[in-house]
Amino acid sequence: MDTAALRVSLSLAIATVVVLLPLGIWLGHVLAVRSFRGKPIAEALVAIPLILPPTVLGYYLLTTFGARSPLGQAFEGLFGQPLAFSFAGLLVASVIVNIPFVVQPIQRAFQAVPDQLRDAAACCGLTPWQRFRRIELPLAWPGVVTAAILVFAHTLGEFGVVLMVGGAIPGETRTLSIAIYDRVQAFDDGAAGLMSAMLLLIAIVVLGLTAWLGRPLEQRRG
Amino acid sequence: MVDPGLEVVLRQAGPIRLDVSFACARGEVLAIFGPSGSGKTTILRSIAGLYTPIEARVRIGGATWVDTSTGVSVPVHQRAVGLVFQDYALFPHLTAVGNVVTALGHLPATERRGRAEALLDLVHLSQHRDRRPGQLSGGERQRVAVARAVARDPAVLLLDEPFSAVDRATRHHLQDEIDQIRRALNIPMILVTHDAEDVRRLATHVMLLDAGRMERIERSH
């Protein structure tokens, strides 16, 4: 078992959820309740990572993060290390890849809140922020939890983009999925099997949690 | 100076045709009576600020809530309006008392729970105050909706077909309770209905509406 790879995978998954969830809640809410010009284009941009092959997405991210790109140069100037083939680069890539997995469930959850409840909340004297915090977010909460768990699970299993952007630097960018691939290439079936079983177990636990947390709050209280 | 109560002028050719001009004094109940699709609910939504027609003027107690000719438009949450929605629109994740507390933001936090419980007492629902809307009957939900609308300490109370989803016996009880509330609050009330009995039992005046156009206003009784 490559514990360093497990640690990188878990760190990446947790950091991706922490960074992406506030953005996903904001963007999902905007797309659900507001009408604006260019909304179909915004929704298409959000969905792009779903249909692009991971290697294509990884290639574009790698060229964007590279040492010769403006972003890569700016990052290296600020932090003294390259963005490509680093944990920070991996995190940025992971956030971009996972945008549809967080935005779409949250957008659907906010769309499911009847407009009449928003109207009723406004008539109760709640400001737009109070309406969001006290009425819309609690009602959309199962969708938010589902999105967080989907992102966590998807990040743990991501392979193509991680390999393209991060390479396989032990303890820095080598995730569990890449470690499994390496072990298979080295005919080390024992280690590959153990790590695969670990990912399978995590997937089962995550799906169980999604099913439980995705139920409305009152049902969970019994 | 005499309080002019509620003064409303709403006009537009489309998409929803409106051509109404009316007033409703404190203590009066104006029933807007007309067939489905005649624009009754749109009038209530325009007063509450949930919809703005092309030409709109709504004044209450001398204060202007909306005047499209001068560009004045007070946001919905700043209008002291109590609106009882046709299908209740209760917050499903909150208890009955939680729903009422939501409309008590104008009171200090320590006073809200007690005031909400008193309002639920007023509509004879104190025994169910900790139940969620899904655990209440249609009539009980409607009572919570009325208590929540009154909780706002409204300058005008708007009722959108408040008895359409309850049985005849419950309807009579609710009509009596709303009549008591009318006497207690002494504010203008607008009641949208297509039921002649609602008009007979509650309204002081009735407006006949047809395809968004006010036919006439007359005293009810």
Q: What is the mean pLDDT of residues A156-173?
A: 82
Q: What is the mean pLDDT of residues A66-87?
A: 82
Yes or no, beta carbons of A123 and B93 under 8 Å apart: no
With pLDDT > 90 as the criterion, what percentage of chain B qualifies? 48
Q: What is the pLDDT of residue A76?
A: 81
Nearest to B105 among A120, A126, A135 (CB): A126
Closest chain A residue to B89, measured at CA:
A117
Q: What is the pLDDT of residue A222?
A: 40
Of A27-31, A81-85, A91-95, A184-188, the range with the lowest mean pLDDT is A81-85
Nearest to A125 among B50, B91, B152 (CB): B152
Banded model confidence at residue A117, pLDDT cuts 50, 70, 90: very high
**Residues in A touching B85 (Cβ below 8 Å):** 116, 119-120
Rounded CA-CA distance A165/A60 in Å is 9
Q: Is the pLDDT of residue A71 over 90?
A: no
List residues of A whose CB lies inside 8 A of any B CB: 114, 116-117, 119-128, 130, 134-135, 138-139, 216-218
Closest chain A residue to B132, measured at CA:
A218
Yes or no, beta carbons of B50 and A126 under 8 Å apart: no
Closest chain A residue to B90, measured at CA:
A117
Yes or no, beta carbons of B89 and A120 under 8 Å apart: yes
Q: Is the pLDDT of residue A88 over 90?
A: no
- Residue-averaged pLDDT of chain B: 88
Residue B8 · residue B20 · CB < 8 Å: yes
A158-167, B79-88, B189-198 — most confident range:
B79-88
Q: What is the pLDDT of residue B221?
A: 64
Q: What is the mean pLDDT of residues B195-208?
A: 85
Q: What is the pLDDT of residue A170?
A: 81
Yes or no, beta carbons of A130 and B105 under 8 Å apart: yes
Yes or no, beta carbons of A124 and B90 under 8 Å apart: no
Nearest to A126 among B50, B82, B102 (CB): B102
Banded model confidence at residue A65, pLDDT cuts 50, 70, 90: confident
Rounded CA-CA distance B146/A7 in Å is 55
Rounded CA-CA distance A58/B57 in Å is 57
Cα–chain center distance at A197:
22
**Residues in A touching B83 (Cβ below 8 Å):** 119-120, 123
- Dihedral of CA atoms B84, B85, B91, B92 in degrees, nearest 10, equals 120
Size of interface A-B (CB pairs under 8 A): 68
Q: Where are the beta strands (DSSP E) in chain A?
A: none
List residues of B whose CB lies inside 8 A of any A CB: 45, 48-50, 75-78, 80-83, 85, 87, 89-93, 102-103, 105-106, 132, 134, 148-149, 151-152
Closest chain B residue to A216, measured at CA:
B93
Domain segments of chain B: what residues? 1-80+188-221
Rounded CA-CA distance A47/A52 in Å is 9
Q: What is the mean pLDDT of residues A95-106?
A: 93
**Residues in A touching B89 (Cβ below 8 Å):** 114, 116-117, 119-120
Q: What is the mean pLDDT of residues B97-119?
A: 92
**How do beta strands B29-33 and B189-193 pair?**
parallel
Yes or no, beta carbons of A124 and B103 under 8 Å apart: yes
Q: Which residue's structure tokens are 């209450």?
A: B60
Q: What is the pLDDT of residue B2?
A: 60
Q: What is the pLDDT of residue B1?
A: 53
Q: Kind and range of the H or E element at A96?
A: helix A87-111
Task: Show the domains of chain A with their CATH numbers.
Answer: 3-220 (1.10.3720.10)
User: Is the model more confident about B43 or about B216?
Assistant: B43
- Residue-averaged pLDDT of chain A: 87
B213 min Cα distance to partner chain A (Å): 25
Q: Is the pLDDT of residue A221 over 60?
A: no
Yes or no, beta carbons of B77 and A114 under 8 Å apart: no
Q: Which residue's structure tokens are 């997405």?
A: A57
Q: Kind and range of the H or E element at A43?
A: helix A39-51
Yes or no, beta carbons of A123 and B132 under 8 Å apart: no
Yes or no, beta carbons of A139 and B92 under 8 Å apart: yes
Q: What is the pLDDT of residue B10?
A: 92
Yes or no, beta carbons of A119 and B85 under 8 Å apart: yes
- How many C-beta atoms surround the C-beta of residue A180 within 10 A? 22
ipTM: 0.90
Closest chain B residue to A219, measured at CA:
B93
Q: The domain B1-80+188-221 belongs to what CATH superfamily?
A: P-loop containing nucleotide triphosphate hydrolases (3.40.50.300)
Task: Kindly write down the DSSP assignment for every residue of B96-156, as one continuous string.
Answer: HHHHHHHT-TTS-HHHHHHHHHHHHHHTT-GGGTTS-GGGS-HHHHHHHHHHHHHHT--SE
A134 min Cα distance to partner chain B (Å): 9
Nearest to A125 among B89, B92, B103 (CB): B103
Of A118-127, A206-215, B111-120, B193-202, the range with the lowest mean pLDDT is A206-215
A152-161, B27-36, B81-90, B209-218 — most confident range:
B81-90
User: For the segment A168-211, what is each residue's pLDDT rounded down to a tens digit?
Assistant: 788 888 888 888 998 999 998 898 999 999 889 988 888 888 77
